[in-house]
Amino acid sequence: MVRAKEKVMRGVFFIAALASVLAVALICVFLFAQGLPPMLRIGVLDFLTGDRWRPTAAEPSFGILPMILGSVYITGGAIILGVPVGILTAIFMAKMCPKPIYRFLKPAINLMAGIPSVIYGFFGMMVLVPAIFEIFGERFDMMSGNSMLAASILLGIMILPTVISIAETNIRAVPRELYEGAVALGASHERAVFKVILPAARSGVLAAVVLGVGRAIGETMAVRMVAGNQTVLRMPYEFFSGVRTLTSNIILEMGYVERESLHFGAIVATGVVLFVFILIINLLFSVLNQDKEAR
Amino acid sequence: MKTKRIISIITILLALCLSAGMLTACNESNDNGDNGNAPAGNGNNPAPPDNNPTPSDDFDSSRRISVFTREDGSGTRDAFISITGVGDDMYEEAVVLTATSEIRTSVAGNPYAIGYVSLGSLNDTVKALTIGGVTPSAETIIDGSYAIQRPFLIVTNDEKDADPLVQDFIAFALSAQGQEHSSTNWTSAGNTGDYTPAGLSGTLKIGGSTSVDPLMALLRAAYIELNPNVNIEISGGGSGTGINEATSSVIDIGMSSRNLRDTEKEALNEYTVALDGVVVIVNTDNPVTNMEIETVKDIFTGEKTTWSQING
């Protein structure tokens, strides 16, 4: 009787575990089945390296290189702006923060994580974009405040709660003995934190950065409201110009596109590229992580 | 150790930049507050351009024009590019936004901006340009003098057109009661008089343009109130989908926010339920009040890029 119960429960747990795997598998199948044929019809190379996106023109062209680069630039910018702030905040919260400030800071950061991205988008549109245009518009002959810079700053803010909470948890998880040992050997509090605890928490902090990258590259709503969405090929130093990201490209045209048209296929194919992107990033960081652990 | 210190200094600088940016932006939104946010009332009498706050003197006409456009496939964009002649040559540097409200907000926050929205969603946070001297309004749209306009059509194929329920719904949409809704946010093209419910029952499938959708939702609610035994299903998909599905009898009535092409006219009967103007808008600080349609085209194709090239 007990054994039968155990078997049933084991099955239940197995099915629960299977559900998430199944979901991922289904998404993969859908994406590749719908996305690959149009990609082949356009030509994989033309699709990935083409710099013109004119889906509804008389002679349509589907090149997503500007969007691939756009995603890379904006995510890179967000990481440059957000990760240092996030990690330092995490160190402060875990090791240096007085209790009364912590009691205020922690809920504030949790609240930040709960703000819907469309609200961030509105903030970016009403505050960030006009401010950037006001400050830099004339000097750099900007089209508008909608720019890579605006998107990077906004995303830098949006990834903060993710980076902070994961990094903080991992810094707290470092055994106290390490810190005490460092202090006993004569290290100051700061030195012990930066030289002993932070390196010990390295893989966890890295995981925080990965999640940050994932959040940044997958963000759609807020980015499309401030990034400008031009499908022009940009260089990384043109951060006062607008770009379109892979995610924005999908959401911008999804609402109107005719099913089973090549345009629809090209949009799904954009999703495939995005998916592969995220796979590569995850793989890269897990390889990095393994290296660190092996050492 | 040294790198850590550098990182922390950079971080502090960035944080300062961020907060400085927010402060300046706050000041700016206070400036904009003066312009007010109240909508201009309904589509029949949008605020005429000369009612707007006086343009500021520090408008620098040597500045670049900030062009805002809608995304590929949007009905408003379709109508705009085909009437102004922009066609497939939309300026590549133009900022692409996906909603009327986003265009309006962006133009209101940027003194050098230009964009276009549906007449129904115009309010006095932005200034509507007259096109060739003609003010966009219900009257100029009906008499055709305001050029940038599009019809909201409902279309049926011959088979469905003979269906009594379809006929009854179309009769309602074109009647005084139906056109009352067309003139809330859009312009009514005139009505066929009073409608009396025939007490029919059944299900109607309507689909197509998402621009017509809000009007159709109003018509549906009013029609069902008068004909409680009728069930109406509305689906989206865009004008193209609506026309295709109406032709192939997948749905009973198709919605389109663009004119039918000649081949489509052969297969379908069309009824104009409303007219909608597309209004070219600029910031209230902009001294420009009028533009020729060619100038609009030159701006949106990127031929003219600074305000000094535009002469009123």
- Determine the pLDDT at residue B284: 92
Q: How many CB pairs under 8 A join A and B?
A: 132
Chain B residues within an 8 Å CB radius of A153: 18, 21
Assessment of whether the complete model's pTM goes beyond 0.90? no
Find the CB nearest B72 among A126, A135, A253: A253
**Per-residue confidence at B61, pLDDT binned at 50, 70, 90?**
confident
Length reported for chain B: 312
CATH assignment at residue A153: 1.10.3720.10
Specify if B198 maps to a domain: yes
Specify if B256 maps to a domain: yes
CB contact under 8 A, A133 and B68: no
In tens, the pLDDT along B231-290 reads: 999 987 778 788 888 988 899 999 988 888 788 888 899 999 999 889 999 999 999 999
Task: Give the nearest chain B residue to A195 (CA atoms).
Answer: B1
Domain that residue B199 falls in: 150-276
Q: Are A212 and A163 in contact (CB under 8 A)?
A: yes
Specify if A217 maps to a domain: yes
Which single residue is written with the structure tokens 């954009």? A270
What is the tally of structural domains in chain B? 1
Whole-angstrom CA distances from B111 to A138, B20, B162, B307 are: 12, 21, 54, 11
In tens, the pLDDT along B1-29 reads: 456 566 666 666 666 655 554 444 444 44
Q: Is the pLDDT of residue B88 over 80?
A: yes
Domain that residue A84 falls in: 67-294
Specify if B171 maps to a domain: yes
* Gyration radius (Cα) of chain B, Å: 23
Specify if B240 maps to a domain: yes
Specify if B288 maps to a domain: no
- Determine the pLDDT at residue B6: 64
Specify if B126 maps to a domain: no
Specify if A238 maps to a domain: yes
What is the tally of structural domains in chain A? 1
Interface mutation vs chain B, best among A89, A133, A198, most B CBs within 10 Å: A133
Task: Give the nearest chain B residue to A139 (CA atoms).
Answer: B63
Q: How far is A181 from chain B (nearest CA, A)?
A: 19
A271 token code pair: 């999703």
Tell me, what amino acid is at B162? Answer: A
Global ipTM: 0.82
A66 token code pair: 């500007």
Chain A residues within an 8 Å CB radius of B93: 143, 230, 232, 241-242
- Could you list the pLDDT tens digit for every one of the 295 residues in chain A? 678 889 999 999 999 999 989 998 999 998 999 899 999 999 989 999 988 888 877 788 899 999 999 999 999 999 999 999 999 999 999 999 899 999 999 999 999 999 999 999 999 999 999 999 989 988 888 888 899 999 999 999 999 999 999 999 999 999 999 999 999 999 999 999 999 999 999 888 888 888 899 889 989 889 999 998 998 888 888 888 999 999 999 988 876 676 778 888 999 999 999 999 888 888 877 776 676 555 4
Specify if B259 maps to a domain: yes
Specify if B137 maps to a domain: no
Please report how many Cα atoms fall inside a 13 Å half-sphere around the Cα of residue B157, on the Cβ side: 15
- Determine the pLDDT at residue B69: 93
Question: Can you say whether the dihedral through the CA atoms of A132, A77, A204, B8 is positive or negative?
Answer: negative
What three-state secondary structure class fits A245? coil
CB contact under 8 A, A129 and B71: no
CATH assignment at residue B248: 3.10.105.10
In tens, the pLDDT along B159-208 reads: 888 899 999 999 999 999 889 888 887 888 788 888 888 888 899 999 88
